Structure 1
């Protein structure tokens, strides 16, 4: 064997060893983690390491919605990162349309496609034009698509295609595993709420019975013409028990309270809220969701839903508006809600925050690490925007 052949053989072995090492690392991490967002980000970073590809993103499809959503992204070019509407799963996308039709399946169809989202754009693309699309399946069930891209695209050989297909298989298993874990966690939460509800019912029933006995005692003392101090003492005990019951009920409701939109996505719940509010107020309202199918943690859903309701209530009470806009934008890193009107305008610096529920809205958002912005111009309408980061938050 010549020196050149030996060197070539050694190089090939090193490449294979590196690929196996990265694949093993991906498999180990995906098997360990039940946090879907972390698993997706890790996989993108490792694929970049494996094939020297800088940019990637992952579309996923929920069981409850046929519309794909952007679940993870790495180093998107500015034109896509700065304009989330261009990465909305409901927009036209050649690779997603091909996937839905079943034209992307197996290693033979992991190939380079022209990115329809970058077609016709020049500025802010970082030179990207093409990407490889890796279909994600669980059996015959469609889970989504992973796209990886690089400005100076090189041809993909059969080994590269098979490698990407293997990564797609590993990721598909991780997606299903994470979703099963989330479903079990949600089921456990429901069972725990039911258990708490039974305990609350029993506790309140006992306390109400005790209160009733004190009231009956006071009535008996009154009929017997007992001393006023004795009657007053019985009524005081009844009042004390009543207050204790109220405190217990408030604590229980806070502990038991579920997300106000359980069973629906945040986008679906907000659309219902907007439609109902528009019918009640007569104010023409436009609702738009970008990547509205993307699941977010229940506590984020609850916070943004309530912020939306409070902001709309303020429009109805104070704005004298003719039109309003509600827009939900979800990206892999954050979710934001905008409520805007064309009314008389609100100057936040001159209006006590508690008067318009701004303190409550801000607390809901800030406790999640987010930011609430309230902007108003006299005779120019008001804009309320809540933005919450998703990285680091569990999806369950």
Structure 2
């Protein structure tokens, strides 16, 4: 009786493994949102092999940097300290992967997690993890790590399943990146079209209106009554302001400071340029900055940073400013901190300092903007945007 029962259990397990593989393949083929697909895969792998925790590193497209692309049930020591999961930090398994040493099953069961090294509390008992390399031909795409407090040596069949899932993930990563490149090209074409339309219609129309108003104002210099002159000059002032705004929009659309670089790179350039222009010391820090973000998140946070730095230059009297970008699988957080004179946040008039515009940018993406300051205590502006569902 024992052998048939064992055979039945083995058949049931194989059927379950196949159903999980099919579910993963369907999800990876269906979704163009890479983050969702990676998180789904981690959940399925965890259920299949009884491995509670997992995370996935990916190599950036345009650099050898790695970034945390997805995670599941990270222990508190890692979840609450994003810097420990920064892709640029030291990591034995990633270093092994870069050297090409993370290839055979012999390595998989014995990798001790260096990011948990030296920690006692908040690890949930994790110490070791399995590391599955992701490749596309000869190109290195990343590593999937899965772990459990009750570590057990994975069987040859378990390892084969993990490598099969790794192959599926590799195909999904390549597919998502191709889709992203296509979307970026389409966005660039649309941006250029909008710039041409603004220049050819709105900007030219405002320029013509300005000339007419200037001519009318000159004709009225011969002694026209002041009641007629005041609204005319107000109209002229508004038209000139709108013309400048239209020209600035055209420049923003054509300059595309984020094009072909991640947000972290664009922010670093922005901060350096601001420092050179204002003479105020400035530094930029990024955690997991190589991770690509949805274009509208990148654009919103870039504009928030630019507006926040402009406010510091106009109002803070600061000697130093620090801009920090922290990206996790769940959210992106931008903080601009200065050591200036500070102010009473409750006393800011409505609509001043561009706060309303910055808050609207964050809230349109389901995020929030927080401003903390006190007289003599400097200021911190923090914008947080969730990444799930975007």
Equivalences for residues 1-396 of structure 1 within 5 A:
3-105=1-103, 107=105, 109-197=107-195, 260-393=257-390
Q: Using structure 1 for the length normalisation, give the TM-score.
A: 0.85
Q: For residues 24-79 of structure 1, what are the alpha-carbon distances to aligned partners after superposition, in whole Å with 9 as ceiling and x for unaligned? A: 11111111111111110110011011101111000011121211000100000011
Secondary structure at 1:363 match in 2: helix
Q: Quick one: structure 1 residues 382 and 111, their matched pair in 2 at CA, closer, same or farther if it must change by over 3 Å?
A: same
Question: 2:248 and 2:282 mapped to 1: Cα distance?
Answer: 36
Q: Quick one: structure 1 residues 313 and 208, their matched pair in 2 at CA, closer, same or farther if it must change by over 3 Å?
A: closer
Question: 1:196 and 1:310 mapped to 2: Cα distance?
Answer: 23
Question: 1:384 and 1:61 mapped to 2: Cα distance?
Answer: 31
Question: 2:64 and 2:26 mapped to 1: Cα distance?
Answer: 30
Secondary structure at 2:93 match in 1: helix
Q: Using structure 2 for the length normalisation, give the TM-score.
A: 0.86
Question: 2:6 and 2:350 mapped to 1: Cα distance?
Answer: 71
Q: For residues 109-137 of structure 1, what are the alpha-carbon distances to aligned partners after superposition, in whole Å with 9 as ceiling and x for unaligned? A: 44341100001101111111111001000
Q: For residues 360-389 of structure 1, what are the alpha-carbon distances to aligned partners after superposition, in whole Å with 9 as ceiling and x for unaligned? A: 111111111111110112211111111000
Question: Retained in 2: the 8 A contact 1:259–1:301?
Answer: no
Match of residue 232 from structure 1: none
Question: 1:108 and 1:47 mapped to 2: Cα distance?
Answer: 20
Q: CA deviation at 1:142?
A: 0.5
Unaligned runs of 5+ in 2: 220-235
Question: Retained in 1: the 8 A contact 2:109–2:153?
Answer: no
> Aligned residue pairs: how many?
368
Question: 1:306 and 1:299 mapped to 2: Cα distance?
Answer: 11
Q: Quick one: structure 1 residues 52 and 299, their matched pair in 2 at CA, closer, same or farther if it must change by over 3 Å?
A: same
Q: CA deviation at 1:195?
A: 4.2
Unaligned runs of 5+ in 1: 223-238
Q: CA deviation at 1:207?
A: 6.3
Question: Retained in 2: the 8 A contact 1:110–1:164?
Answer: no
After superposition, the CA RMSD in angstroms is 3.0
Question: 2:84 and 2:192 mapped to 1: Cα distance?
Answer: 43
Q: For residues 79-127 of structure 1, what are the alpha-carbon distances to aligned partners after superposition, in whole Å with 9 as ceiling and x for unaligned? A: 1000000000111100000001111125554434110000110111111
Question: 2:161 and 2:268 mapped to 1: Cα distance?
Answer: 42
